[in-house]
Structure formats: structure tokens, C-alpha cells
Chains A and B, each alone.
Chain A
């Protein structure tokens, strides 16, 4: 077996003497098994002998081993506020339930009241908090005032947590599978990508809506809305996988936007459901 390997290697290296090479080639022509074996040795050599690929793979493996999925809570301040808000809301609901459960009705005699003291109004209650304090303190929940605290503006380059989650989850539909990229360079906003869909119809309109990064901008305060160009890709291509068709998507608009982080949402016209949410920064 060892000799067989050496013979194959010498043949592949071109170092087999002429007479031996000819004899070996005659053998290969007759024996499919040897031919297969040679093919395997050749492929092993060409694959595992590729120095550049070795280094590339080593690099990728090291990166992959140390890879941590990006923290969706990258913006702890914003996320903290959101979590705090949800916490307070939950507490408020619980407190309201407790209140109605234990609160006597108008005909309940005072003696039947449970021994729960209503807390005296605190001087640090939220409604008295300074107006410039963006975050509600967890220690001063307002069980009887469950209104949402005002949403504070964030710097224009800071991620919007709710939209970031949609960006990470995109494409959001299996019926309209999109892969899209956009940029905000001169002359404005440009987008291109591909879509796979069995449902898309030629007269269907796909829209793009642009939002800034501010809390509350999505979905009610769009900056810009437009219609995507949709073109079927190479109708004559041998698509054995014809259930879904591939489309090229494009959009361009001259927009004069200040520097900052923006999000764009793709939908089919008339539908609220987003198919793709992407982000773009300038």
C-alpha cells in the first residue's frame, strides 16, 4: 500500500520515470479503481496544499471561536429605560389589581378594610420629578399613574433598539424573501437587492419607507416613502427551483438628510407587515 501511494504521488508530481509513467497510465486506463484513487490524491493535494486557504481558514476559525453575537442591548441606557418602563408598567398593573381587589366597594363598611395603609404621596413621585430627568427611578414607581413617561430623544447616531431587533431578524417574511442593502451617499438614498417570492405579482407595488433613529419614529413618523423598482431576474435562467422567482430590487431618491442613523422598511403596498428592515448611516 505504501508503494502504491508513493507511485501515485510520484505520478502526480511528474517525477515518475518515462517508462513507468507509460505503464502506469496504461494501468489507469484499464482500472477504474486506480483512476478514482488518483483523482482523490489529486484533490487532496490541491485542497490541503493551498497555503493561502490554510491561513484564511485558520483566521476564520479563530474569529468564529471567539465570536459573540452582537449584544442587542448595545445601548444600555436606552434598553435600561425600556426595561425599566416595562417593569414599572407591570408593577402598575399589579398594583392596580391589588388595589381593586382589596379596595372596599362603596357599601363596604370601613371595618372590613384590610390592614393595608395607602402610602402617603411621596415628594419624589414621578409627576414631581424634574422635567429634565429622562429616566424614571425604579424606587419611585407610580402605581396609580400608569401613563408612559415621555420618550427622550437620543443622539442621531444611536441605534433604535426596536428597529435594531427587526434589522437583525430580517428578512421577516418567508413569502417575500429579501436581501437588501442601501447607502446614503451622493445623490441621496440608494438601495438594491434581491427578492425571492412565489407570491409576488407583476402589478404589485412594493414600498420603501425611511425612518430616523428616534424612539417613536417607527411606524408613525416616516421621513420619506417611495416605490421600489422590481425586475424579474433572467427569466430564461434554468431555474429548476421555479416555485419562487428571483427579482432585482432598486430604489434611488435625492434626499437631503442630516448625518445620522436611518432605518428603511420594505413592505408590499397596503400591508402593515414589514418584509425587511435595514439600516443605513451617514
Chain B
């Protein structure tokens, strides 16, 4: 592993802001260039790049993780797969998207990419919720007790906190189910 590659991995492992900023500066322009040549925009590149970093974040947590290629090679492979999958979904069956967008042979990585795509449906639905619901559900999913949630959210009672939690979760589930990706990914 090259010294710089090691730094990039550490930045992801430790959620290090400066290191991650450097990663964006170093690699996002190349990923943008790749996407622009393949029907994407700079905004798409930002999305794909962020998703790829999340995939890597999960991958580097594994105790057996070892970088077997160059860092950029790995990052590029993930971005390529993510974008290939998106193009394929966008096109439906009308446009033939070359299957060769997917070339990562490592099954763990392929699995993490699929997982990321599934989970993104949840995150996207979550981000559509109001601030109050987002805050409340963040506490709820972090397994904070309802009494403490009521206190932190300054609700009048635990009963109201429970009711509100239900309403927010229901909205979340509704949005997830309304997402076209849900039926494909989570069945």
C-alpha cells in the first residue's frame, strides 16, 4: 500500500474531515470526468462519489480489510458499478446499457454496493421528512428511551412522543414504499 493510499483509508476509517476533503479534491474531478463522458452530470458525480465513499466506509470497518489494489483503482471501480447500475435503471429496458459497467469481481464489494443502493432508498426517504421528524427518528433509531426523547424534543408527554414517533415512522415508510426503487430492491 502506498503512503497516500494509507492516508485515504485512515481518513475514511476515522471519519476525518480534512482527509475526506482532500479525497474530494483529489478524486472527484476524475470521477466527474468519467461520468460526464458516460451520460452523467457533475451533480450525479457528487452523488455517486458520496455513495462510493459510504461503501468504502463499510468495507474498511471489516477487520480483515486489506487494500489489494491502488486506492483510486478501488474507488473508481465502485463508482463505475454504481453509475452503471443507475444508468441501467434509468434506461429501463428501452436503452441497452452495456453490462460491462460492472466489473468488480470481489463478491463482498458487489454485496456492499447492492446494500448501499438499497439503503439509499431509506436515507432519501428520511431526508424528505420535516426537521422535527428527522430529529425524533434519529433518536428513536439510536434506541434512546421514549421518556428521554420526549424530554429532548420538549414534548408535553411520553404519550405524545410515542404518537409523534408513529406518525413520523409512518410517513417514512410511506415514502420508502412510494420510491420506485423499493419494489425492485427490497422484495
Contact = CB atoms under 8 A, between A and B. Distances in A.
B122 A64 contact: no
Say whether chain B's binding surface is mostly helix, strand, loop, or mixed. Answer: helix
Interface residues of A, number: 55
A108 interface: no
Interface string B21-59: 100110011101110011000100010011001100110
B7 to A, nearest CB: 13
A227 interface: no
Given A2-B166, A53-B57, A181-B5, 18 more contacts: A6-B166, A43-B122, A44-B141, A49-B143, A51-B142, A56-B54, A64-B46, A64-B49, A69-B28, A167-B30, A168-B29, A169-B33, A179-B72, A179-B77, A180-B73, A181-B73, A241-B102, A246-B105
B50 A192 contact: no
Interface of B: 2-5, 15, 17, 20-21, 24-25, 28-30, 32-34, 37-38, 42, 46, 49-50, 53-54, 57-58, 61, 69-73, 76-77, 98-103, 105, 118-119, 122-123, 126, 137-138, 141-143, 163, 166, 169-170, 172-173, 176, 186-187
Interface string A4-24: 011000000000000000000
Contacts of A141: none
Contact of B28 (A52, A67, A174): A67
B95 to A, nearest CB: 16
A159 B30 CA distance: 16
Interface string A36-68: 100110011101110111111101111110010
Interface of A: 1-2, 5-6, 36, 39-40, 43-45, 47-49, 51-57, 59-64, 67, 69-70, 167-171, 174, 179-181, 183, 185, 192-194, 196, 198, 233-234, 237, 239-244, 246
Nearest to A281: B4
A5 B137 contact: no
Contacts of B71: 181
B89 to A, nearest CB: 16
B15 A52 contact: yes
A83 to B, nearest CB: 21
Given A69-B28, A241-B100, A39 B186 contact: yes
A170 B29 contact: no
Nearest to A194: B73
18 contacts: A2-B163, A43-B186, A44-B169, A48-B138, A49-B141, A56-B53, A56-B57, A57-B123, A64-B24, A67-B28, A70-B29, A168-B33, A181-B72, A193-B69, A193-B72, A194-B76, A241-B98, A241-B100
A231 B76 CA distance: 19
A40 B186 contact: yes
A56 B119 contact: no
B173 A196 contact: no
A6 B54 CA distance: 31
B54 A69 contact: no
Given A43-B186, A63-B20, A48 B126 contact: yes
Contacts of B46: 64, 67
A171 B142 CA distance: 42
B24 A63 contact: yes
A275 to B, nearest CB: 13
A243 B54 contact: no
A180 B4 CA distance: 14
